[in-house]
Amino acid sequence: MKTFKMLSFDLIKEDGKLNFPLIDGIVINQENSHKSWVLELFISKEHIKTFHQLHNSGEVFDVHVVISFPDNEPAPFSVVVNEIREIRGNYSVLLKGAVKQLRKKYAEQLLKLLLEENLPKEELITRFEQGMRERPKLKEI
């Protein structure tokens, strides 16, 4: 197993991303035949309602997680809420799932769309870096 520090957590919804501020978080690659991952978020009480709803529904949902270093690209996961525990007024949310396969050639497709906008060099670089970090659906750009 390998463990990583979770720096940010975004729930992906049809209408965009919903960021959940973390008190702490960890990501564990179980390195098993199922290629499963465990994500544990430690969040404040004000953000727990969404996770209770997801837990009760058993819904599989997509998230983006920045691991280890702030400049890393968000890693996409499909997960389910496995367990929620209250700890001294805050909450531990245990998610289980798998890494989603990113579309091939995302960088090339993003760059092609941005080049079509005839942006100045500095803006092109800035928008490309932002797009690679945030990974929006390409039709949203």
Strand partners, 137: none
The pLDDT of residue 12 is above 80: yes
Higher per-residue confidence, 19 vs 140? 19
Highest mean pLDDT range out of 22-31, 72-81, 130-139?
Answer: 22-31
Distance CA 31, CA 52 (A): 28
Would you state the structure tokens that stand for residue 120, as one six-digit string? 């100045």
What's the pTM value of the predicted model, to 2 decimals? 0.73
User: How far is the C-alpha of 29 from the C-alpha of 45, rounded, in Å?
Assistant: 27
Domain assignment of residue 67, given as a range:
2-99
C-alpha span between 62 and 100 (Å, rounded) = 9
Shared domain for 75 and 111, answered yes or no, is: no
Q: Is the pLDDT at 98 greater than 80, yes or no?
A: yes
Give the mean pLDDT of 38-62.
Answer: 96
Q: What rounded mean pLDDT belongs to the chain?
A: 90
- pLDDT of 141 reads 46
With a CB cutoff of 8 Å and minimum separation 6, the contacts of 121 are none
Tokens 């199922």: give the residue: 34
Q: Are residues 55 and 114 in the same domain?
A: no
For the chain, percent of residues with pLDDT exceeding 70: 95
- When divided into structural domains, the chain yields a total of 2
* Half-sphere exposure for 134 (CA within 13 Å, toward CB): 16
> Do 68 and 16 reside in the same domain of the chain?
yes
**pLDDT reading at 48 higher than 50:** yes
